[in-house]
Homo-oligomer: A and B are copies of this chain.
Amino acid sequence: MPRIRLTVAYVGTRYQGWQIQGRGETIQGAIEDKLARICGELVRVHGSGRTDSGVHALAQVAHFDVPESKRHIPWRQALNAMLPDDISILEAREAQDDFHARFSVRSKRYAYTLWTEPRFTMPQRAPFVWPVRGLDFEAMDQAAEVLAGTHDFAAFQNAGTEIKGTVRTLEPIVRAPGTHSAEWVFRFQADGFLKQMVRNLMGLLVEVGRGGLAPADVRPILEGCDRRKAPATAPARGLTLEEVMY
């Protein structure tokens, strides 16, 4: 069966994340719903991985298989005509049989956006940022340096996953100005991420920025591999999946 590869952008605000769950609307569910209408049968969509409820994507990647008779449907146009405005198919093309949206991933990049203007949050940006105040960005940069590299990131994995190995290689975390002058974007690229790992790393960095932890506290937390010793998870809405690399 021909395999179709999708690149999908979405605003995650009103979804229960990427993956179909018992209840609530999901991105995967919305796409499968439209595919079922086009194909007249269930077509399973495989994403590169889950994104949490409220997390956004500029370029999530997914694939699905279709009967030979459906091979030449213009999937991008067909799906975009049916999907709501907060989900958009950027590209749809036929992939090799051995391409798998999840198992073929080489690395992923996420962006986490902080809003630093304490008096207000611009409503145009509110769904995409975490409002914080009074952060020491130099201390955060020092903490970020400790996190980069190949480590056991168990201290940054939330419960509720069956993944065994927790060693990942995190590229240097890059901090850059965002769309609005009140924004700072932190970019995280790794060969894989544990459950809520970016949000847990960001939670740690902000705690350092607030002075609740010193940069020197980061290595013991990382090496302790104990989630309970690390700061709280950052909110979902500041997180965007930017790119999946194969």
Contact = CB atoms under 8 A, between A and B. Distances in A.
A231 B88 CA distance: 30
Given A76-B119, A120-B80, A88 B56 contact: no
A88 B9 contact: no
Interface stretch (A42-50, A122-130, A195-203): A122-130
* Chain A, interface residues (CB within 8 Å), range: 20 to 34
A11 interface: yes
B124 A11 contact: yes
A90 interface: yes
Given A9-B122, A89-B120, 19 more contacts: A9-B120, A10-B123, A56-B124, A58-B122, A76-B119, A76-B120, A80-B120, A85-B121, A85-B126, A85-B127, A86-B123, A88-B120, A88-B122, A88-B123, A88-B126, A90-B119, A90-B122, A91-B119, A179-B179
